[in-house]
Structure 1
Amino acid sequence: MSKSKPTLPRGTRDFGPEVSAKRSYIIDQIKHNFIKYGFSQLETPAMENLSVLTGKYGDEGDQLLYKILNSGNYLNKTTAEDYQNGSKHLTQKIAEKGLRYDLTVPFARFVVMNQHEIAFPFKRFQIQPVWRADRPQKGRYREFYQCDADIVGTKGIWNEVELALLFGDVFNDLNLEDYIIKINHREILFMLAEYVGLKGKEVPFCAEIDKLDKIGEERVLENIQSIGGNQSKLEEVMALLSQTDKDQLLAKVESIGPDNSGVTEVKEFFQSLDQFSDRNIKIELDLSLARGLSYYTGMIYEVKPTSVKMGSICGGGRYDNLTGVFGLDGISGIGISFGLDRIYDVMEELNLFPDAITQRLDVLIVHFSETNLNHGQKLVMDLRSAGIKADLYPTSDKIKKQFNYADKIQTPYTLIVGDNEMESGDYMLKNMSSGEQKPMKLDEIIQLLKG
């Protein structure tokens, strides 16, 4: 029997030690800030019942759900008629579960199932992988992580403000300065649609606005004109979409819709944010931001890098009926999501990862004999007890092989144990970069390595 060469499923990846360390570094900074802001961690199963997942992401989303075949003889309850009725019908007979498509729907299910045990407002964060049967391409995978934080059961504008501050704190901890948080409001977009004569056609209007950075202003204007609307007012609104001065923008949109709830909330948002001007949050009002309007009902966020050519690295917004699909109406919420893979790519391009995070060890103990190896076992545990990342070469191989191993794993120091060192208690510590080495007592080595 011939042995087959191992492969990975398309759209999935292995992460080696260096990449895993860098990804963990990003996750740790995000998680630290989630906890600092009072979010509780939540984990949900990798698989959900298809009845939970189906119908929540539209027809396209349903097609991208990974279905799990029922265990056992999953065909024994099917008939010839089931096959004739097509794959959609047959799937209902042979698959009852699927891999989660995102973290939001499982969160909604959790809230509904535990509504009498959790306290509202409920703040949760979740960092877990999701799966989509999408066509793999650059930057798009079939398995990827989402890092979400949501607040449900409250409508206070402070939620919008603190999530903007949370973005800023995470990027500050990652030393990522080249970013901009863009915000907009669904009610402002819908007001502008009505202003240009497209009341009732708000969604197609916003869908075209969302294409501005892809196809340009001229094409977008043509597409909107084909929907209808007032020509001169359309040109007036298109001019607004390229402006970034929030005070001028707010004054203009307030003159168009003085009683618009979106204008009121955005003004309150920036007024609250003004008291944190010392934190240097990089944020702007962008009226061309029109993402997620099938589910967002209020404020919308999008974060983009400013010195690297890439799409959004974070997003989010306010939604008013997250749990309504499961029968629990009236639960307003707001959520944000960090794009781990894209943040990684930005930080890699800007060389922002600290060198220390990929360093596996502080010191490796090398030795000349079995007796020296046995002595090293106590040494390595003493070093570890002192908080030093230490390891002991596990066999009494030739010393050259042990040093070659130290070079390969890029350990900065080796601690050499021989018979003389065992007798004197002075161990030779070698700097693997400079080659310099000198005898030191164990407590001196610990003090040096702890720096």
Structure 2
Amino acid sequence: MAKPGLPQGTRDFGPEVVRKRQYIFNTIRSVFELYGFQPLETPAMENLDTLMGKYGEEGDKLIFKILNNGLDNADKHEQARADFEKVLEGKNVKGLTERALKYDLTIPFARYVAMNHGQLTFPFKRYQIQPVWRADRPQRGRYREFYQCDADVVGSNSLLNEVELANIYKDVFDQLGLTGFELCINSRKILAALAEYCGGAEKMTDITIAIDKLDKIGLDKVKAELAQRGLNDDQINTIEKYLGISGSNEEKLQRIGVLLGHLETGKKGIEELDFVNRQCAGASGGSLVIDFTLARGLNYYTGIIFEAKAPATVKIGSIGGGGRYDDLTGLFGVPNIPGVGISFGVDRIYDVLEELNLFPEGVYTGTQVLFFNLGAEESKTAFTTMQDLRKQGVRCELYHEPAKMNKQFNYAEKKNIGFAVIIGSQEIQNNSAVVKNLKTGTQETVALADLSNKLFI
């Protein structure tokens, strides 16, 4: 019999880990709600043509395709093998696969808006917390199944949305105690102007894909890739000059203006970055950084783009990102619905909080009170008392069988339970209980009617 195992790039989560993850989810969800966003969920799978062609050349390769049912039919084996060979060549074969696991939450959201735009009130602000799947090479901070937490606004061109999204990042990270993060922003308009300056809009994808790898492969290899993609020495030198712009946000805007401000697209991108930078000054606590090396190689971005980076002491990179996508629903036949959104990388945020020891102590606690089981009559009284406490919101449980005190104390310690309530025959007679604080070791006898007031939980 084969040993049980997990698919590579996936994980089980035990109770302690789930509680920590829920702490992150609940923090993000509460901030989303504070800013007026509404919850939404979409299916785990989408039609393949909904996803393909939306994420660029690199992203399309990472989409998990789902085989159609019925392949166990012997008459279909030969055709299935032929179809599968076509899939391996990158072709879409309807007879073999027509659906795929969703790659992110943005494209399914755009599909939802396109299907329901007649019933939505715009601007429509939604948040979504669900798993997504990517056929990536698993490594630290990179998984094949992981959760995304997205917030998007559609139906508005206002840059105030970008300002609010930047502040959502700050509020969430502040509440998580995550100091030292950076929120980098750039504009796809500026990247489009760079492409125009280097010979034409058709070079945009080649340039952004190469620039997006700068942190991973370094400048020399980026230049080599640009050369492989057909850019000449003058164009590569211009891109190197662009990537070398440094200084304060204001200095960077001034310098990019010298390089690209004469182009209408570049001028517009600079104006948008300047607006967001000025509106966020102070409110973002200095965490907002204009970064012209930020490219985010997804084809659907059209304006401001974001990337949240973990503190430099944690070598994990991006913990969130997003941007403006002014015609994403146009991909589904519903043009002219502008949108902008951000995403939190919960799995990476978890790793950062773990490494920096930032999870609060209370996040580990499930059961707050353990009622000891001292026998049939005693456990009956304990159960009735426990039910009263549960009605008042106290999380408690009764040990499952009569056992030695040491065994029950050991159980409470392993589950990180803060209080033990002991009701023996004498306590039944007196309508009382012994309450022991398992953290401090102190204990007192309390009337059953006052029990909830005496539990310092």
Counterpart residue number, 1:97: 99
Aligned to 2:40: 42
The answer (yes or no) to whether the contact 1:68–1:97 under 8 Å persists in 2 is yes
The 1:166–1:77 alpha-carbon spacing in structure 2 relative to 1, beyond 3 Å, is farther
How much does 1:371 deviate?
A: 0.2
Q: Give the drift of 1:80.
A: 4.2
For 1:236 and 1:80, locate their aligned partners in 2 and report how far apart those are by CA, in whole Å: 56
Match of residue 176 from structure 1? 178
Matched, 1:304 2:302: no
Counterpart contact for 2:446–2:454, Cα < 8 Å: no
Aligned amino acid, residue 246 of structure 1: N
Q: Does 1:282 align with 2:290?
A: no
Select the residue among 254, 272, 275 that pairs with 1:251. Answer: 254
The aligned residue for residue 384 of structure 2 is 378
1:387 aligns with 2:393: yes
Residue by residue over 1:223-272, the C-alpha shift from the partner in whole angstroms, topping out at 9 and shown as x without a partner, is: 557722268755643431xx140111112222331551001111111222
**AA matched with 1:406:** A
Conserved 8 A contact 2:54-2:299:
no
Over the aligned positions, Cα root-mean-square deviation in angstroms equals 2.6
CA contact (8 A) 2:167 2:283 kept: no
Provide structure 2 residue ranges, at least 5 long, that are not aligned to the other structure.
Answer: none
Question: Which residue does the alignment assign to 2:274?
Answer: 267
Moved more, 62-71 or 342-351: 62-71
* Structure 1 range deviating more: 224-233 or 354-363: 224-233
Deviation at 1:78, TM superposition (A): 3.9
Q: Deviations over 1:339-369 (max 9, x none)?
A: 0000000000111101111111221010321
Q: 1:329 to 1:245 in 2, by over 3 A?
A: same
Out of 366, 378, 392, the residue aligned to residue 360 of structure 1 is 366
* Secondary structure in structure 1 of the residue aligned to 2:242: helix
In structure 1, what is the equivalent of residue 63 of structure 2? Answer: 65
Which residue identity lines up with residue 324 of structure 2 in the other structure? R
The 1:290/1:409 distance shift into structure 2, 3 A limit, reads: same
Bigger CA drift: 122-131 or 258-267?
258-267
Aligned counterpart, 2:108:
106
Percent of pairs with identical residues: 45
Would the aligned equivalents of 1:413 and 1:431 in 2 still touch at CA under 8 Å?
A: yes
Match of 1:27 in 2: 25
Letter of the 2:157 partner, please give it. Answer: K
2: distance between equivalents of 1:54 and 1:237? 32
Deviation of 1:310 after TM superposition, in Å, equals 1.4
Do the aligned residues in 2 keep the contact of 1:186 with 1:293 (CA within 8 Å)? no
2:98 partner letter: E
* 1:244–1:285 CA contact under 8 A, matched in 2: no
The answer on whether the counterparts of 1:165 and 1:281 sit within 8 Å (CA) in structure 2 is no
SS in 2 for 1:93: coil
Please give the alpha-carbon distance, in whole angstroms, between the structure 2 residues aligned to 1:211 and 1:130: 22
Equivalent-residue separation in structure 2 for 1:410 and 1:81 (angstroms): 58
Deviation, 1:5, is 2.9
Give the Cα–Cα distance (whole angstroms) in 2 for the partners of residues 28 and 358 of structure 1: 14
TM-score using structure 1 length? 0.90
Query: Match of 2:428, SS?
Result: helix
Q: TM-score, normalised by structure 2?
A: 0.89
- Secondary structure of 2:434's aligned partner: strand
Q: 1:231 to 1:53 in 2, by over 3 A?
A: closer
Question: Once structures 1 and 2 are overlaid, which stretch shifts more, 193-202 or 132-141?
Answer: 193-202
- Unmatched 5+ residue regions in structure 1? none
CA pair 119-368 structure 1, distance change in 2 beyond 3 A: same
Counterpart CA distance in 2 for 1:97 and 1:345 is: 32
**What code does the residue aligned with 2:257 have?**
E
Counterparts of 1:121-200 in structure 2 under 5 Å? 121-195=123-197, 200=202
For residue 349 of structure 1, what is the aligned residue in structure 2? 355
More off after superposition, 196-205 vs 418-427: 196-205
Q: 1:8, 1:51 → 2: CA distance?
A: 29
